[in-house]
Chain A
Amino acid sequence: MIQLITMAFRDLARNKRRSFFSALALGMGLGVLLTVAAFINGEMSGALDTSLRFESGHLQVRAENYDINKTSLAWKDLIENPADLASKIASLAPVQAATARLFASGIVASGNDTRGVRIIGIDPASPANDMYKKGMLRGEFLTTDDHEGILIGEALAKKLGLDVGSSFTLLTNTSNGDVIEQPFTVRGIFSTGITGYDLGTVFLPLTKAQAITGTNNHASTIFVLLHDKNQADAVKAALTGSQYKILTWMDMNQLLTQTENMANSFMVIFYLIILGITGTVITNTLVMTVYERTREIGILSAIGMKSWRIMIMFLTESFALGLGGILLGYVIGGAMVWYFSTYGYYIGNMGLSASGGLLLQDTIYAQLTMPDTIKLSIVALIVAVLAGLNPAFMASRMEPVDALRGK
C-alpha cells in the first residue's frame, strides 16, 4: 500500500501543472462552499443573536391571552403588577435580568411626514435594556421619570429629519380604544444595526408608556435574559403552573429555525452541483493520465499486478488530488471567510421590525464552524474519489497485451 501511495504522489508530480490545476478546481469549489456555509451560518447566528438581544430574549412571560401580533392594550391581555413578577423571576439563579415591557402601536408625525412605529415602554434602569444604551449614537438614554423624552432610531431620525432635541407628535391608541396624541422631545438617537428595526421602533420609559396608553400598572411581557440560554427549558419548567404563558427563545424563533433548515436543505443541492462540476475536472485529468500511461499499465499487469490493484493505484491518485484540493480550498475559503468575517458584507435593509419577523442585520459577518468545515471537506474528498472511479475502472480493465502496444 505504501508503494501505491508513493507511486500515486510521484505520478501526480510528473505533470505538476496539470495536477495543481485539477486540485485547484476542487479547491475553488470547496472555497466557495466554505464561504457560502460561513455566510449562512453568520446570517442565522446574527439573526438569532439580534433576536435574543432585541426581540425575544431568552424567555418571555405573557398573559395567557396575549397575542404579540395584535399588540393588545386591553387589561385582560396584559400582566398586572409586572414589577413584582419581574422581581420574582429575577431572583431565580439562572436569570441574569428580568424586566417588564409594554408594546403599543403608534404614529410619529413631524411636519408633513408621518411614520407608523412600534412603541416599546422599557424600564431604563434595568440591565436587560443595556443593549439599547450601547447602541446610543447621540443624546442621552432615557430615565425612569422622564415624561417628555423619547428615543428614536437613526433611520427614523433621517427619514423625518429629526435630531436630538427635536419635537414631534406621537399618536397612539389606548386600552379603552381611544387614540391620543402627545408631544415628545427626542432625547437620544440609537442604532441597532438593523435599519428596519431602527425605522419602526421608538422607546419610552415604561411609566410614561403606561400613562399615555391608559394601561396603568400593566405590561405586555416580562423580558428575561439568562446567564446561559440553554437553561431556558429549565426556567420555563420552574415557572409553569402560574396563570401566565411562558415562551422560550426556541418557541419565539421558530421562523428562524425553519428558515435555517430550509436554507441548509437548498444548500445541499448547491454543494453537490458545485462539487460535481469540479469533480469532472479530476475525472478528465485522470482519464488523460490513463491514456498517457497505457503502456505503463501494461507493464504493471505484465509483472503480475492484478486489476484491483491497478484500480486502487488510480483511486489513490484521485484521493491525493482530493487532499490537495481540500488544502487549497482551505486557503481560498479561509481567505474569503476571514475577509467577510472581519469586514462583513452589507446587504442593506432586509430586517423586519415587526415582532415575529426575522431580524437580519444590515451587514452579514461570515462565521465558519468546524462541523461545516469537516462535513464539506469529507464530501469534497468523496467527490474526488468518485471522480476517479471511471478512469480507475478503465485502467483496470485493460488487457495487458493491448496496453503494452499502447492501445
Chain B
Amino acid sequence: MEVTKIENVTRVYKIGTVETRALRGVNLTIENGEFTALVGPSGSGKTTLLQLIGCLDQPSSGSVWVDGKDVTRLNRDQRADMRKGHIGFIFQFFALIPTLTAYENIEMPLLLNGHSPAERRERVTELLKAVDLTERANNRPDQMSGGQQQRVAIARALATRPALILADEPTANLDTQNGEQVMEIMTRLNKETGVTFVFATHDPRVIKYARRVVTLRDGLIVSE
C-alpha cells in the first residue's frame, strides 16, 4: 500500500526576478513500511522533496498524495491537520521546544490530537522506554546531550502513531556513536511497528541502514 505518491512535482522559488528550480518533475512512490533514504549533494532537492511530502510546503506544479489524500492544494490549517495526524518529523537540529521537558515535548502532538491525560501518560511512558530515556523525562533540552535530544525527537515523531516519519539529516549534528545509536533505534522501530521512514541524508554512515536509496541531482531523481 502506498503511503505517499509524488506525481510530476516541480518546486520553483522566486527571489526577486531570480528563479530557482529546486525540483524539476519528480515522480516517486513510497510503500508502507519502507526505510528509504533520499540522497544527493547539497542543492539536489532532497530537503525540498521531504518538505512537500511532509505538507510543510506546496509544489509549484504536480500533485502530492499522503496516506491516500491529495494534499497539493490544502490551506495552512488543513496541512497542519495532515501533519498532526499522519506525519512525524525529525530534524537535524533536534527541534525540541526548549521550555518543555522531554516528557512534555513528546506529549505535545498527543495534546494537539486531543488525547486524554491517561492516554497521553501511557503513550509517552511507552515511548520514553522505547528510546531508553525514562530517567530523562523531566529534563529540558539544555539538560540533555545531542543524542538524547534526537531520541526525544524520534519519540515525539512516533507519538501519534503516524503513517510516515520524515527525517531531514537526522544525524548531521551527532557524533558517530550517537548517530549510529539513533539510526539503530529508527531501524528497530521501523521493524517493530511498521511505520514508514523516509530520511534525507548525504551521510554514507546513514545510507547503509536504508533498504531503499533514491538519488537526486539538480531537482531530479537519477536512480533508485
- Measuring CB to CB, which residues of chain A are less than 8 angstroms from any residue of chain B? 3, 7, 10-11, 13-14, 295-296, 299-309, 399-401, 404
* A247 CB, min distance to chain B CBs, angstroms: 66
| A296 pairs with B112, CB closer than 8 A | no
CB under 8 Å from chain A, chain B span 21-71: 51, 54, 56-57
- B108: contacting residue among A3, A307, A400, CB under 8 A: A3
Which stretch, B95-103, B177-185, B188-196, touches the partner chain A? B95-103
**B199 contacts the other chain (CB 8 A):** no
Least Cβ–Cβ distance between B73 and chain A, in angstroms: 15
Is B176 positioned at the interface, with any CB of A under 8 Å from its CB?
A: no
Residues from chain A with Cβ under 8 Å of B156 in the complex: 303
Residues of B within 8 A of A10 (CB): 99-100
- List of B residues within 8 angstroms of A296 by Cβ: 97-98
Known: A3-B111, A7-B100. A302 touches B85 (CB 8 A): no
The 4 A-B pairs of least Cβ separation, nearest first, read: A304-B84, A10-B99, A401-B57, A401-B56
Partner among B77, B83, B104 whose Cβ is within 8 Å of the Cβ of A3? B104
Q: Does B109 contact A (CB under 8 A)?
A: yes
Chain B neighbourhood of A7, CB < 8 A: 97, 99-100
Q: How close is A296's CB to chain B, nearest CB, in angstroms?
A: 6
The reply to whether A303 and B56 contact each other, CB–CB distance below 8 Å, is: no
B113 contacts across to A, CB distance below 8 A:
304
**Does residue B172 face the partner (Cβ distance < 8 Å to A)?**
no
Binding site for A on B (CB under 8 A): 51, 54, 56-57, 76-77, 79-81, 83-85, 89, 91, 93, 95-100, 104, 107-109, 111-113, 156
CA distance A401 to B49 in the complex (A): 12
Secondary structure type dominating chain A contacts = helix
B218 to chain A, nearest CB (A): 20
Within the complex, what minimum Cβ distance (angstroms) separates A140 from chain B? Answer: 76
Task: Kindly state the separation between the CA atoms of A306 and B85 in the bound complex, as whole angstroms.
Answer: 12
Known: A295-B93, A306-B81, A400-B57. 7 other contacts (CB 8 A): A296-B97, A299-B96, A302-B95, A304-B84, A304-B85, A307-B80, A404-B91
Partner of B56, one of A13, A14, A400: A400
- Chain B proximity of A164: nearest CB distance (Å): 75
Chain A residues with CB below 8 A from B109, complex form: 303-304
Residues of B within 8 A of A307 (CB): 76-77, 80
Smallest beta-carbon distance B95→chain A, Å: 5
Can you report 21 residue pairs joining A to B where beta carbons are below 8 Å apart? A3-B107, A7-B100, A10-B99, A10-B100, A13-B99, A295-B93, A295-B95, A296-B97, A299-B97, A301-B83, A303-B84, A303-B89, A303-B109, A303-B156, A304-B81, A304-B85, A305-B80, A305-B112, A307-B80, A401-B57, A404-B56
In the complex, which residues of chain B have a beta carbon less than 8 angstroms from the beta carbon of A401?
A: 51, 56-57
> Is the Cβ of B80 less than 8 Å from the Cβ of A304?
yes
Closest chain B residue to A7, Cβ basis: B99
Task: Closest B residue to A304 by CB, please name it.
Answer: B84
| Set of chain A residues within 8 Å of B83, measured between Cβ atoms | 301-304
| Residue of B with least CB distance to A301 | B80
Q: Name the A residues within 8 Å of B107 (CB-CB).
A: 3
The answer, among B84, B89, B99, for a CB contact under 8 Å with A14, is B99
Chain B: CB-nearest residue to A12? B99
- Complex CA gap A301/B108 in Å reads 11
Tell me the nearest residue of chain B to A305, going by C-beta. B112
Closest to A300 in B: B97
Residue of A nearest to B85 (CB): A304
Q: Residue B95 contacts which of A3, A14, A299 (CB distance < 8 angstroms)? A: A299
Closest to B77 in A: A306
Residue B99 contacts which of A11, A305, A309 (CB distance < 8 angstroms)? Answer: A11
Which chain B positions have C-beta within 8 A of A301?
56, 80, 83
Whole-angstrom CA separation of A14 from B140 in the bound complex: 13
Q: Which residues of A contact B84 (CB under 8 A)?
A: 303-304
**Complex Cα gap A363–B107 (Å):** 61
Residues on the A chain within 8 Å of B104, using CB? 3
Nearest CB to that of A10 among chain B residues? B99
Find chain A residues with CB under 8 A from B76 CB: 307, 399
Complex-state Cα separation, A13 to B100, whole angstroms: 12
- Cβ of A309 to closest chain B Cβ, rounded Å: 8
CB of A12, distance to nearest CB on chain B (Å) = 10
**How far does the Cβ of A278 sit from chain B's closest Cβ, in whole Å?**
26
Which residue on A lies nearest to B52, using beta carbons? A401
Q: How far is the CA of A10 from the CA of B98 in the complex (A)?
A: 9
Give the CA-CA distance A299 to B92 in the complex, in Å.
12
Closest chain A residue, CB of each to CB of B107: A3
For residue A308, which residues in chain B have a CB less than 8 angstroms away from its CB?
77
B13 to chain A, nearest CB (A): 10
B176 to chain A, nearest CB (A): 26
With a cutoff of 8 Å between Cβ atoms, the chain A residues found around residue B99 in the complex are: 7, 10-11, 13-14
**Which chain A residues lie closer than 8 Å to B51 at the CB level?**
401
B158 smallest CB distance to A (angstroms): 12
Chain A residues near B112: list those with CB within 8 A: 303-305, 309
